[in-house]
Structure 1
Amino acid sequence: MSSGTDTQTLEFQAEVQQLLNLMIHSVYSNREVFLRELISNASDAIDKLRFEALKQESLFEDDPELKIRVDFDAEQRTVTITDNGIGMDRDDVVENLGTIAHSGTKRFLEQMTGDQQKDAQLIGQFGVGFYSAFVVADKVEVFSRKAGVEPQYGVHWSSEGKGAYTIETIERSQRGTAVVLHLPQEQEEFCDGMRLRHIIRKYSDHISVPIEMPAQSGSAPQQSEEKGAEQGEEEQEQTPQWEVVNRASALWMRPKSEISDEEYKELYKHVAHDFEEPLTWLHNHVEGRQSYVSLLYIPKRPPFDLFEQKPAHGVKLYVRRVFITEDTEHLLPRYLRFVRGVVDSDDLPLNISREMLQHNPMISSIRSASVKRILDRLERMAKNEPQMYAEFWESFGRVLKEGIAEDHGNREKIAKLLRFSSTYEEKETPDVSLDDYIGRMNEGQNKIYYVTAESFNAARNSPHLEVFRRHGIEVLLLPDPVDEWLVAHLNEYEGKQLVSIAKGELDLDQLTGEQAEQEKAQREEKEQAYKDLCSRLQEKLNDKVSEVRVSHRLTDSPACLVVGEYDFGVGMQRLLQAAGHNFPAGKPALEINPDHQLIKRLDNEAEQRLQDWALTLYEQSLLAEGGQLEDPAAYVKRVNSLLTE
């Protein structure tokens, strides 16, 4: 080791410091997972080296036998995890250990409550990789050298997790990375060979490279932490003191009958970087025209980057057990981006590029088969395990809805999996399927009715529902922003047209039975009686509405806005505007309720007062639809003036 050149002390990125504070002060009960996380990082570094060495074999240097070593020194209270993977240079160390690229980090930190127990649970859901070292260590050192880089450009990183870290250039002959944990006395239980072996076999037995530990049950000789990390490996390799403590084989290649549930769960935590167990998994060995294995997991909870444009994790692609890439777009469509796991092909070329992935027919075939398996599994879950499916829907229902627009070939299968709230019970938890709705349809009904809104309460209080409630016709309540896209692409289901109750003219005559003729006659009478008022109101609102007409859908509210049958709804217009899209927006119609006291009194209003009432009715109706006022201050002033009459 050199005397240390280019030594710097740098501040952690603010998000890192927040995470470190959580780690250091957390009450996270499962502290032993620090070893799983560090071994997982070491395994990833070895996977990256394998992939890079496909193009540049010299990166193996004179050390082609890939492995991970876990050593400890009970006297010094240190645990050292060493790999001979890709390694890091100075820039890599600053980027990987001083900052966080995890796109969901900010959202994670915003959810912190200050309650240690709740925050500890959230830590477990988030998964924090390297920083979990500070759950058990009061000081962490990292020694690394990038494969292919000269020994004099090794890097030493050190921190006590208190706001800053030190980084210096050192000489390091060993390729790869060593992480040295300095443990306080209360964590000395981890400086025990049997304890470390147990943790490795419990969490990391599936790692496909050998994980070695000193062959003796006691502590292996180690002059110092630094020497054990930088130079000790070379000395130790001269004596056969190491033994492999894991199976060191790709778990997904083994027959399903030989794999326990615990092994499946631990592999999931490794590939998904998740502390929680998965909800379920699908393991398939495919043989025939092409040979591959897929092991796909559905998580319990949404990852923090679920709605990011480019999630950090996806499905890992291997070719003949060699890691190629972690794919977030080619192996599965975007609406299944929550799925984690492994695909290992015997037929793809080892040097396949991301560009080749996009056009490779084998990849297309794997993708198509994987989508079918996942949707079939969800269908069985919905039918046979409704509680589990409810848990899935709560976490990923909004994402699955995107598939209606994205995956035309599987639209019917996805539609069968959709769940909604409805006026049948008006529960905020969506549990009504389209099949449930059709099974409860009124006699003579051939349409599926729905209403979109900004929230569940806005949907169930929509004035458009009033006539449907009076006649006992069920309406789906769609409060999610993605619902606007869903109904724009799902025009019918099982031959039944989906119809917005807030669009176009309303015709319920076929559902009102004997009342139909009587109600029709009453409507025509009221239309004639209020024809003049409608004309006057339309004159006042000419630049805002296409027409003013007597409503057939209102029973309690004075007025509502109705867009054309083929126009964008108010919610969709709002989404498009927020996204910066220009679109031809037709004017809505204003419908008035002739039985409402407010409407009855307008016939006698003076023209100026009628102008104020017309604008107020329009703006109240716009607000009820979730729209925004052009001039809220003028609206408030006008309402106050009318209230003081």
Structure 2
Amino acid sequence: MPTETFEFQVEARQLLQLMIHSVYSNKDVFLRELVSNASDALDKLRLEKLRDDTLDVDVSDLHIELEIDKDARTLTVRDNGIGMSYDEVGQLIGTIANSGTATFLQELKEAQDAAGADQLIGQFGVGFYSAFMVADEVTLLTRRAGESQGTRWSSRGEGTYTLETVDDAPQGTAVTLHLKPADPENQLHDYTVTWKIKEIVKRYSDFITWPIRLVPQKAGDGDETPEPETLNSQKALWARSREEVTDDEYHELYKHISHDWRDPLETIRLQAEGTFEYQALLFVPSHAPHDLFTQGYQRGLQLYVKRVFIMDDCEELLPPYLRFVKGVVDAADLSLNVSREILQQDRHIRMMRSRLTKKVLSTVKDMKAKDTDRYATFWREFGAVLKEGLVTDAENRDAILAVASFASTHADDEPTTLKGYVERMKDGQEDIYYLTGDSRQSIENSPHMEAFRAKGIEVLLLTDPVDEVWVDAVGEFEGKRLRSVAKGEIDLGAEGEEKKDGEREKQAEEYGGLLGWMKERLEEDVKEVRLSARLTTSPACLVSDAHDLTPALENMYRAMGQEVPRTKRILELNPDHLLVKTLNQAYKEREDKAELAETAELLHALAVLAEGGQPKEPARFVKLVADRLERTL
């Protein structure tokens, strides 16, 4: 097949330009990324051979080679792993199938300085593309195990790449970097110097379980060529004692596993002995990935059996709400041929899942107690996903609630626990009050909050989509019911000054006619019109019945493709508001109620707007308001 030229996908082209003109200060990490890719390819080949013994490949000496050519100024990273087919090269190298790429690039454009760009590059991780930080041209030669033909890929990072088939490619992948010209004033970034390559491998890749060999440069005529030198110790960090491993080594393993360029927030070690032995080394990232809430997010831990790599994303080892946790689990008693189907039924896997889950949650609890800054980072990045466990994991619900914190009206900046809320409850208060919404500002400005604000009653301010669900799943805390201030009837008499019964009865009689008439006029939109005990300054608000779905929850179900019937709301009127008083007086005095009907419609639309919704007919609403304004001038 002749050489073909292709254009990079738009996002890939942008990322290439970013790497070519990179301001990232630590360019050494390109070698870590390429070695990591080579290690993954070796893992995949051994796994493929385990599952298919008819595969005609030699796995007796799987390794990674690094070869320097000073004269040509090239550095080659070579492995004899799984390799890639022609189509795979085009798919994996020519495009970026990461849903967070566009967001990353947009944020990078908005970064105002080099430090900001450094941070964003660290958030994303760019793997193969990082080679263009140090190379003017990159050539890749690969042949997939079991295939006869290989593929050569080449690019200068200028928007295009070439692909061609070759007949003499060895199995595996070789990436050759045609390095940028040497900088005489900066020898630290000369990647044709042997000591520099050794230093990088020792710092970033010492734990890689495959040998990383430095191929000596060719000797002169008649000279004996020395043997390749193995640069890494190949010791699995989780198998070494805590005293033998530094934090930096743990951090490099995390970066290798996660392809994240930042250090983790927390490192968790676990060793189980007895009837079923395993070791685990887990990491809590310091930031949430862009695609954490997308359907295709790759979750799960790396699974090893007696140091043999089995699976890259074993989802069965942790529940979905801990999908951000990265790490390695090495079991002593599982079969090397274990499949995903077997894992789902294996009781040992279920035991490990339970123990690992509890260990992660207890670690977060310790973090919360001992290091408030690190806990604040954790909750900001992962609180929304952790709260999913309140719905899906009843067994660990109490442990999740113990580490959960929520914004509230008690303090602007300091979140509260449910336990802290209960300790501050007013005498006679029976319920834990909360309100959900899109933002703290919209919740605090909601008319539903008026009476609570006036009486100084604390309300939890819940702004994550999952909050609509978990409050119903949990129901109560320490015997106190979780109650929305926007659902059901609210009577704060026990928590503040109570209106006299006679006054309430008088108001009910005074407004009875108006309430019945408005219910009839608005019957397509509301199930009831009643007087409100929760409003102090607004004329009206909409509330849901105690057991009805909220509008936000209805929308959430519809977005997931579930059909739910539209629920009518309850319109509450503030009997102390001048508008409502005037409307009631006009209702009693006028026989022609046509204009009053428009006022009732406007009052309902204002209540919809106040909670962040949109009137059923926006154009009609605008016309009614314009007509009213015209008549008042």
Q: 2:164 aligns with which of 156, 168, 171?
A: 168
After TM superposition, the structure 1 stretch with the greater mean CA deviation from structure 2, 269-278 or 471-480, is 471-480
2:465 pairs, out of 472, 477, 481, with 481
| Matching residue of 1:17 | 13
Q: Please name the residue that 2:186 is paired with.
A: none
CA contact (8 A) 2:284 2:326 kept: yes
**1:604 correspondence with 2:624:** no
Shift of 1:580: 3.2
The whole-number CA distance in structure 2 between the counterparts of 1:610 and 1:550 is 18
Alpha-carbon distance in structure 1 between the residues aligned to 2:198 and 2:220: 19
Structural RMSD (CA)? 1.9
State the Cα distance separating 1:529 from its structure 2 match: 1.6
Which consecutive unaligned segments of at least 5 residues does structure 1 have?
224-235
Q: Is the 8 A contact 1:103 1:312 kept in 2?
A: no
TM-score (norm 1): 0.92
Letter in 2 for 1:599: V
Distance in structure 2 (CA, Å) of the matches to 1:490 and 1:592: 31
Letter in 2 for 1:554: L
Listed as ranges, the matches of 1:100-119 within 5 Å are 100-115=96-111, 117=114, 118-119=116-117
CA contact (8 A) 1:82 1:178 kept: yes
Given that 1:145 and 1:172 are in contact with CA atoms closer than 8 Å, whether structure 2 keeps it comes out as no
Preserved contact between residue 104 and residue 304 of structure 1 (Cα < 8 Å): yes
CA offset at residue 544 of structure 1? 1.2
Where do 1:498-537 residues align within 5 Å?
498-512=482-496, 515-516=497-498, 518-537=499-518
% identity of equivalent residues: 46
| Structure 2 equivalent of residue 206 of structure 1 | 207
Label 1:326 to 1:522 Cα distance change in 2 as closer, same or farther (>3 A).
farther
- The one of 419, 442, 449 aligned to 1:465: 449
Query: 2:109 aligns to what SS in structure 1?
Result: coil
Q: Displacement of 1:62 after TM fit?
A: 4.3
Alpha-carbon deviation of 1:155?
A: 1.2
Say whether the 8 Å CA contact 1:40–1:270 is kept in structure 2: yes
177, 182, 190: which one aligns with 1:181: 177
- Name 1:384's counterpart in structure 2: 370
User: Is it true that 1:354 corresponds to 2:340 in the alignment?
Assistant: yes
1:181-221: CA deviation from partner (whole Å, max 9, x where unpaired): 01111466111100111011011111111111145xxx445
Q: Residue 356 of structure 2 corresponds to which residue in structure 1?
A: 370
| Structure 2: runs of 5 or more not aligned | 184-188
Runs of 4+ in 1 over 4 A off after TM superposition: 57-60, 219-223
Name 1:267's counterpart in structure 2: 253
Tell me what 1:232 maps to: none
The residue that corresponds to 2:146 in the other structure is 148
Equivalent in the alignment of 1:627: 613
Equivalent AA in structure 1 for residue 128 of structure 2? F
The separation in 2 between residues aligned to 1:304 and 1:180, in whole angstroms, is 31
Q: Deviations over 1:401-420 (max 9, x none)?
A: 11111111111111122211
Aligned to 2:270: 284
1:99-498 equivalences under 5 Å are 99-115=95-111, 117=114, 118-150=116-148, 153-186=149-182, 189-214=190-215, 219-220=217-218, 239-327=225-313, 329-427=315-413, 431-498=415-482
Deviation of 1:98 after TM superposition, in Å, equals 0.9
**1:211-233 CA distance string (max 9 Å, x none):** 11145xxx44599xxxxxxxxxx
> Which residue pairs with 1:567 in the alignment?
548
Contact 2:141 2:169 in 1 (8 A): no
TM-score (norm 2): 0.94
- Give the stretch that moved more between structures: 268-277 or 358-367: 358-367
Secondary structure at the aligned position of 1:548 is classed as strand
Residues 546, 261 of structure 1: alpha-carbon distance in 2 compared, 3 angstrom cutoff: same
Give the aligned partner of residue 228 of structure 1.
none
Q: 1:317 to 1:60 in 2, by over 3 A?
A: farther
Question: Could you tell me which residue of structure 2 aligns to residue 618 of structure 1?
Answer: 604
Query: In the alignment, which residue of structure 2 is the partner of 1:230?
Result: none
Shift of 1:628: 3.1
- What amino acid sits opposite 2:230 in the alignment? V
Cα distance in 1 between the residues matched to 2:226 and 2:47: 29
State the shift of 1:71 in Å.
1.5
Separation in 2, partners of 1:147, 1:95: 18
Tell me how far apart the structure 1 counterparts of residues 218 and 447 of structure 2 sit (CA, whole Å). 76
Any idea what SS the aligned residue of 2:5 has?
Answer: strand
- Larger deviation: 524-533 or 137-146? 524-533
Label 1:221 to 1:625 Cα distance change in 2 as closer, same or farther (>3 A): farther
Preserved CA contact (<8 Å) 1:335 1:399? yes
**How many residues are matched?**
618
Question: Which stretch of the first structure deviates more once superposed, 520-529 or 363-372?
Answer: 520-529
SS of 1:100 mapped into structure 2: coil
